[in-house]
């Protein structure tokens, strides 16, 4: 079984996941203001549940499944990688938008 609890804890169960989710949604207005279809598509892809799943720190009954499908050595590596990508994306979105946001 992939996730014993059958809730969102595999995607939003820790502070890293919650912070990553908060940061991607903070970009929504700025991204949509660009009216750039490629940028909007990229922003949507950054919301794919796998990104947040890879940051999961649950290593109990379903931990082996998380490790098996995770390309990162640790959830912390997944978080750092995602946040670095998100930072690069934020810079790109700010450059393309008509309204600059404060990071």
**pLDDT value of residue 85:** 97
The pLDDT tens digits of the residues spanning 34-69 come to 999 999 999 999 999 999 989 988 764 455 555 667
**Digit-coded pLDDT (tens) for 79-101:** 999 999 999 999 999 998 855 44
Q: What's the confidence (pLDDT) of residue 62?
A: 52
Looking at per-residue pLDDT, the higher value among 22 and 73 belongs to 22
Residues ≥6 apart with Cβ < 8 Å to 69: 53
Which residues, including other chains, have CB under 8 Å from residue 79's CB and lie 6 or more apart?
16, 17, 19, 20, 55
d(CA 14, CA 1): 21
| Report field, pTM of the whole predicted structure over 0.75 | yes
Question: Residue ranges of the domains in the chain?
Answer: 9-96
């Amino acid at each position: 079984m992939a996730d014993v609890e059958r809730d969102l804890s595999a995607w939003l169960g820790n502070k890293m996941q919650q912070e990553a989710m908060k940061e991607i949604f903070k970009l929504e207005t700025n991204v949509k203001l660009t009216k750039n279809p490629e940028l909007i598509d990229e922003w949507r892809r950054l919301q794919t549940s796998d990104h947040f799943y890879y940051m999961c720190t649950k290593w109990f009954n379903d931990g082996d499944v998380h490790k098996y499908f995770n390309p990162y050595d640790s959830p912390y590596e997944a978080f750092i990688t995602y946040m670095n990508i998100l930072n690069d994306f934020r810079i790109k979105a700010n450059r393309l938008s008509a309204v600059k946001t404060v990071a």
